[in-house]
Structure formats: C-alpha cells, structure tokens
C-alpha cells in the first residue's frame, strides 16, 4: 500500500522524498553498525546509500533534460512572434488568409536563405514537433510546496504516533511476584498455622523503594519469585517459605524458618564452630544477628568428562537473622544479600530493609 502511494506521487515529489528517507536511514544504520560492530547492519546501510545515490543520479539527469528542452521552446516562441508581427505590418488585404500565408512563407524563405542550405532531415531524427495538445509541464513551485507538505505530514505522523498508540513499557516495569494461589501447600504449613507463604514474603520484599534501600535507586527489579519450601534435613516437617528479588547489582532473599532454634542458640552454635564474622543486633525489639557465608553455584557440565563439580562455591553473601517474635522462642526471618561481583552493602542497609519489610509480614500466631 505504501509503495502504491509513493508511485502515485509526482516525480519531483517522489524522488526528493526517497532521497531524504534513504540518506537518513543509511547514515543512521551505518552509525549504529559502527557502534555495535555489526557487519550485516553495515551492509544494509550501504544498500540504502547506494539506493539514494541512484535516485540522486536520476534527478540530475531529469534536470539536465529539462534544461535542454528550454532553448527549443524559446526559439519556437520567437518564430511565432515574428510571424505575428509580419501579419500586423501587412495591413488589410482582399484575401486576408492568402496574404497572411504569403507573408509567412516569404518570411520563412528569407530566414532559410540567410541561414544557408540546410541538410534534409532524415526519418526518425530531430526533435518532435510541438503540438497544441502536448501535456503542460507541472509547476515547479507547486511541486515544491507538495514536497514540503508530504515531509511535514510524515514528520507529524512520526511525532504523534507514539502518543496516539498505546506504549508497551513492559520492559521498564519492575518484575512482579508470580501468583501461586493454585498450588497446594505442604503439610508442614498446615501444622504451623502462623506460617506465611512464599507469595506473601515476595509481596512484602518486592517494595517500590527496595532498590533505594539497597543504594541503587536507578535500578528496577528484573525478577521476583516466591516458593513454599520446607527446611532441609527436616523430612518435610518444618515450613520454610522464601522469596527472592533480583536487581542488576544485588539479589535480595528473605526466608522464614518455623523451627525451635532460637536466634540466641544460633549465635552460640556459630561461635562454637569458630565463626568470627557474626554480630548480634536488635531489630524492632527482636534479637538478631549478622553472619556471612558463601552461596552455592550450580554447574551443568555438558562435556561429559566429569571434570566440573555440579555444585561450586558462589559469591559471599551477608545475612541478617531476626527472631520471629520478641521472646525468641524459636524460628527466624533471614534476609540475605549478595552480588555476582562479590560486593556487599553495609550492615546498616540490611537492618533498614528488615525494619521496612518485617512489619508488613503477617505475625505468627501465639
């Protein structure tokens, strides 16, 4: 449809339009190809520029042909004016038609005698006689105005199209938590009435200001998920829901463990095994503790030689464990932050996140 409309345009509108479009697209594609080091895009840009060069050549040829036809048209006009002046000087005659024709013939004969002998025109050579029914040349000013109007219409359409059409901004939206309402909870959640679900933890963690709390206010969440798991080595008897939100810089994970291990007992256990990077703290009036540990990295070996271990040590992570209640009678919330580069935020950042998130999580029943 667009090609049909372009072909219907006059020559002096269509060709400048194609030249402008081809040159702009060609230069833009070549610029992007140089920036991205894409050979295919560079070839496409060259094709647009060659197409534009062909169009420019056709316009130049048309302009030259138009200049060559202008002297012939002016000479014909001079001859007609000379014949008209001879008729006016001859005065009245008894046979006006014959007298005027005779004067015109004499004038033409005089012009031929002064010019000398002329070669006899051959068949098919020489310019074609101009007839009264010849098509009139279009006005150059009208064509220029039409070209400007077409360019203005295209520019207005490109400017207004993003505002009229609905924009697809899904790429810039932060990730949302996937709903797990249709999944059946494990039996451990039925045995613990106050246990929250992974969906509830994800909604509490995936806050609009989470990136700002992490110190990266310009980032948006790229992934958010929650799961209703059970604690390892518990035989499926201890509920342990968790949620995770990923950013470009950091990944934040929160889990709730509904067991009988208190935070105070957890700190003593860490100190017994020689853990030195542990620090106790109070969060919202509840006992808490900071600790560090490496994450686990899963490796899939496609070579088949068994040289790569399936589980490897990942980057270092920092965890803040907070008791489920003020009495610390067992169980905890664990907020963990890590990054692929190994960089970690300050402990104050984890504490701020805990103080913002924990009040939004449903309280454990007594």
Give the count of beta carbons closer than 10 Å to the beta carbon of residue 309. Answer: 11
pLDDT score for 51: 82
The residue among 115, 102, 105 whose CA lies nearest residue 75 is: 115
Residue 229, classed as helix, strand or coil, is strand
In a domain, 312, yes or no: yes
**Same domain flag for 196 and 68:** no
Q: Which residues pair with 313 in a beta bridge?
A: 296
Kindly report whether the global pTM for this prediction surpasses the value 0.75.
no
d(CA 231, CA 220): 30
272: domain range?
187-360
Domain assignment present for 106: no
Q: How far apart are CA 302 and CA 308, in angstroms?
A: 9
Which pLDDT score is estimated for 309? 56
- Rounded-to-10 torsion of CA 103, 107, 108, 109: 100
277 and 323 in one domain? yes
| 239 and 162 fall within a common domain | no
pLDDT of residue 291: 94
Instruction: Give the residue ranges of the chain where pLDDT is below 70.
Output: 1-7, 70-173, 179-182, 298-311, 363-366
9 occurs within a structural domain: yes
- Residue 152: its pLDDT value, please? 59
Neighbours of 153 (CB within 10 A): 10
Q: Write the pLDDT tens digit of every residue in 272-316.
A: 988 888 999 999 999 999 999 888 776 665 555 555 556 677 889
What CATH number corresponds to the domain at position 271?
3.40.1000
**Residue 152 located in a structural domain:** yes
> Helix/strand/coil (H, E, C) string of 42-99?
HHHHHHHHHHHHHHHHHHHHHHHHHHHHHHHHHHHHHHHHHHHHHHHHHCCCCCHHHH
What pLDDT does 101 receive?
47
Question: What total number of domains does the chain contain?
Answer: 2
Rounded CA separation 101/87 (Å): 9
Is 341 part of any domain?
Answer: yes
For residue 318, what are the β-bridge partners? 292, 337
């Amino acid at each position: 449809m667009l090609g049909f409309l372009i072909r219907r345009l006059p020559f002096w509108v269509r060709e400048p339009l194609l030249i402008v479009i081809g040159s702009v697209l060609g230069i833009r594609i070549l610029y992007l190809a140089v920036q991205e080091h894409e050979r295919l895009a560079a070839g496409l840009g060259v094709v647009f520029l060659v197409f534009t060069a062909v169009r420019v050549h056709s316009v130049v040829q048309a302009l030259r042909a138009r200049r060559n036809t202008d002297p012939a048209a002016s000479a014909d006009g001079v001859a007609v004016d000379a014949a008209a002046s001879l008729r006016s000087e001859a005065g009245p005659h008894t046979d006006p038609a014959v007298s005027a024709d005779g004067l015109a013939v004499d004038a033409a004969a005089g012009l031929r005698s002064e010019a000398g002998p002329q070669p006899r025109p051959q068949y098919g050579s020489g310019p074609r006689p101009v007839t009264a029914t010849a098509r009139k040349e279009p006005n150059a000013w009208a064509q220029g105005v039409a070209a400007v109007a077409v360019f203005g219409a295209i520019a207005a359409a490109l400017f207004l199209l993003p505002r009229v059409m609905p924009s697809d901004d899904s790429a810039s939206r932060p990730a949302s938590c996937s709903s797990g309402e249709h999944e059946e909870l494990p039996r451990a959640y039925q045995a613990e009435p106050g246990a929250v679900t992974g969906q509830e933890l994800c909604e509490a963690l995936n806050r609009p200001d989470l990136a700002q709390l992490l110190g990266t206010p310009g980032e948006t969440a790229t992934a958010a998920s929650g799961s209703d798991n059970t604690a390892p080595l518990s035989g499926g008897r201890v509920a342990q829901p968790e949620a995770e939100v990923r950013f470009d810089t950091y990944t934040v994970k929160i889990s709730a463990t509904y067991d009988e291990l208190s935070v105070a007992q957890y700190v003593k256990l860490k100190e017994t095994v020689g853990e030195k990077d542990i620090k106790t703290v109070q969060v919202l009036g509840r006992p808490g503790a900071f600790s560090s540990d490496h994450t686990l990295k899963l490796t899939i070996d496609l070579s088949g030689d068994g040289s790569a271990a399936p589980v490897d040590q990942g980057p270092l992570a920092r965890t803040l464990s907070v008791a489920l209640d003020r009495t610390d009678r067992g169980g905890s919330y664990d907020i963990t932050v890590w990054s692929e580069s190994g960089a970690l935020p300050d402990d104050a950042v984890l504490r701020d996140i805990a103080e913002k998130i924990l009040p939004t999580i449903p309280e454990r029943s007594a």
